[in-house]
Structure 1
Amino acid sequence: MNFGSIMTAMVTPFTESGDIDYTATRNLINHLLANGTDALVVAGTTGESPTLTNEEKVELFKFTVQTVAGRAPVIAGTGSNSTRESIDLTIQAEEAGVDGIMLVVPYYNKPCQDGLYQHFKTIAQTTTLPVMLYNIPGRSALNMLPETIIRLADVPNITSVKEASGDLDAVASIIEHTGDDFFVYTGDDSSTLPVLAIGGTGVVSVSAHIIGNEMQEMIHQFRSGNTKQAAAIHRRLLPIMKAMFAAPNPSPTKAALNLTGVPVGGVRLPMIALSDEEVASLKNVLELDDRAAVGF
């Protein structure tokens, strides 16, 4: 299943007391769908999944599905470093009505490549939903090799990968050795255009919270053959993309949303809010001293 060009890894809005803010979540969902988002990833890294209980995740899945009401695919982050726990959450996510599952490489316990294969295959076999693999060695302390991803692509409902290793050679190898029905997304916003250029499908984005329409325009120009224009947009967007990761994600993204009139609250510990100096730097990148919001 192709989930579109831009899948936004949605932040989880919180109230001042630290609970999930469902009113803000509804407003955020509608904002994203109106501003360049083709599909939503819920309870992923950007959604602060390590701080959410499984009960909170299931309620968030249900609420998002109800709010989206068929306007876009909803992808549930159900991966963990426990195969059994991931299976249980995947089953509950399917019952909640989501359209797909995203499974992160198991963190901390560092299985071998065959262990990764068995982990993902076992979870995929418990659901009828399409599964997106998620390779992010910077957070999981383990890199899933292209050979393992290519092998997993033969599992019927493993249909895509979010590749956030930053290795374009690995991305090219995956694209080259999988079929047209396997979709390769980058997990790095600044790699969106390079990955498209080597045959990738799109991006699972953080920056799309702020510049979704601009990113869609870049992709449209590239696919229309206007590569020079696409490259110019890419260069203009890079400072904002970099700003979203100037501090640990999602603190900059939540700050940017709050600054641009889309309230989402703060972050849960162990994440912390941006410092005053970091907020000032972010405002400068977003040009908020001169304009109400980003745009070109």
Structure 2
Amino acid sequence: MTTATPFGRTLCAMITPFTKEGALDLDGAQRLADRLVSEGCDGLVLSGTTGESPTTSDAEKSALVTAVREAVGERASVVTGVGTSDTRHTVELALAAEKAGADGVLVVTPYYSRPPQDAVEAHFREIADASGLPVMLYDIPGRTGTRIEPETVIRLAEHPRIVAVKDCSYDFLGAQKVLARTELAYYAGCDEHNLALYAVGGTGYVSTVANLIPAQLRAVLDVFEAGDPPAAARLQQRATRLVELTMASGLPGTVTAKALLNALGLPAGPVRAPLRPAGRETADGLLAEYERLMADA
């Protein structure tokens, strides 16, 4: 069981705020980042799936890192997504992230081309060799079309700068196999697994729902760590309906998270095409569940 926490335990996969016109909202990003850290996030993961990385430019990604770093200082880690389907481009983004002040990079499996495992491994090694930043592997085959197979992860763990995994594989056995054989920090990338993965030796989570209820999600791990697993389970269960509405409503998590943040008057703004905003019924349902959860807190 690993106890390494290279980026903290409670990380938020932060949305990228945009203005009404669709431009990058750096002031909003700073205000949201400050709120998330103040309410319990040890780290922020920028420009990931929830951060709409496919529709932000390289310059926007770097500007976002610089702005968030300025807002949170050393109170929290700042990790940024640099993964693309092109190894050379990913290297360029990793170097830019280092220059902008990131603490680490999140690197997704190359998508669309569906490389075999030896090519996946070579890709991650090249990224890890390119800069001085520690690397969090991002295993999300439902979006990329390609797993990072457990045996590949185990080999990659030998690299000194590959230190963590964001696990969205839905392969709980595979995650436990890697935990048993490496010192990698394993972060749940699916909010329904936050407590379960932590209980078998995971490090924490990289959470979309933490945009909405950062303190409540942190409390789950804190209570478990304090020695009360049943109470931690109750807290996890209390958040389950909002997790479901945010992550399993048929809409991407960034769409639902932004809908609720906008309803709460917090920085978010529109999503960028091809995504479309949530409808009124969805937004109202999210707000009603959020208010119920807050009333029970």
TM-score category, normalised to shorter length: over 0.9
User: Is 1:45 matched up with 2:46?
Assistant: no
1:287–1:294: 8 Å Cα contact kept in structure 2? yes
User: Which of 117, 121, 134 is the equivalent residue of 1:130?
Assistant: 134
In the alignment, which of 95, 103, 106 is matched to residue 102 of structure 1? 106
Count of residue correspondences: 291
Matched-pair contact (CA < 8 Å) for 1:6–1:37: yes
Instruction: Give the Cα–Cα distance (whole angstroms) in 1 for the partners of residues 149 and 291 of structure 2.
Output: 40
Per the TM alignment, residue 281 of structure 1 is displaced from its structure 2 partner at its CA by: 1.8
Q: Is the 8 A contact 2:95 2:130 kept in 1?
A: yes
Q: Name which of 253, 259, 266 aligns with 2:263.
A: 259
Whether the 8 Å contact between 1:214 and 1:295 is mirrored in structure 2 is no
Aligned partner (choices 111, 129, 135) of residue 115 of structure 2: 111
What CA distance in whole angstroms lies between the structure 1 residues aligned with 2:142 and 2:20?
A: 30
Q: How many angstroms apart in 1 are the aligned matches of 2:295 and 2:23?
A: 29
Tell me the residue number matched to 2:9.
5
Counterpart Cα distance in 1 of 2:233 and 2:69: 35
Match of 1:280 among 275, 284, 289: 284
**Structure 1 residue ranges, 4+ long, deviating more than 3 angstroms after superposition:** none
- The answer to whether the 8 A contact 1:61-1:93 is kept is yes
Distance apart, 1:275 and its partner CA:
1.0
Partner residue, 1:162: 166
Looking at structure 1, the residues matched to 234 and 264 of structure 2 have their Cα atoms a distance apart, in angstroms, of 24
Is it true that 1:215 corresponds to 2:238 in the alignment?
no
The answer as to whether partners of 2:191 and 2:207 remain within 8 angstroms in 1 is yes
C-alpha distance in 2 between matches for 1:241 and 1:40:
19
Paired residue for 2:67? Answer: 63
Match of 2:20 among 11, 16, 33: 16
1:77 equivalenced with 2:81 (yes/no): yes
Write the letter of the residue equivalent to 2:125: K
Larger CA deviation: 18-27 vs 274-283: 274-283
Please say which of residues 240-249 and 101-110 is displaced more in the overlay.
Answer: 240-249
Q: Aligned letter for 1:9? A: A
Maintained 8 Å contact 2:111/2:146: yes
* Cα pair 2:47 2:81 within 8 Å, conserved: yes
Q: Which residue, 241, 249, 253 being the options, matches 1:249? A: 253
TM-score, normalised to structure 2, is 0.95
The answer as to whether partners of 2:258 and 2:268 remain within 8 angstroms in 1 is yes
- The residue type equivalent to 2:246 in the other structure is M
Confirm whether residue 33 of structure 1 aligns to residue 37 of structure 2.
Answer: yes
Aligned to 2:197: 195
Choose between structure 1 and 2: higher helix proportion.
Answer: 2
- The offset of 1:17, in angstroms, is 0.8
Q: Give the structure-1-normalised TM-score.
A: 0.95
Distance 2:275 2:253 in 1: 8
Name structure 2 gaps, 5 residues minimum: none
Compute the RMSD of aligned alpha carbons: 1.3
Identity of aligned residues (%): 37
Q: Deviation per CA, 1:229-280, whole angstroms, max 9, x where unpaired?
A: 0111111011111111122120100111112231311100011111122112
3-state SS in 1 of match to 2:105: strand
Q: Which residue of the partner structure matches residue 148 of structure 1?
A: 152
> Structure 1, residues 200-227: CA drift from partner, whole Å, max 9, x if none?
1111001111111111111111112201
Distance in 1 between the 2:132 and 2:116 partners?
Answer: 26
Secondary structure (helix, strand or coil) at the match of 1:76 reads strand
Equivalence for 2:234? 232
The 1:118/1:294 distance shift into structure 2, 3 A limit, reads: farther
Compute the displacement of 1:176 (Å): 0.6
CA contact (8 A) 2:31 2:71 kept: no
Q: Do the aligned partners of 1:36 and 1:208 also contact (CA within 8 Å) in 2?
A: no
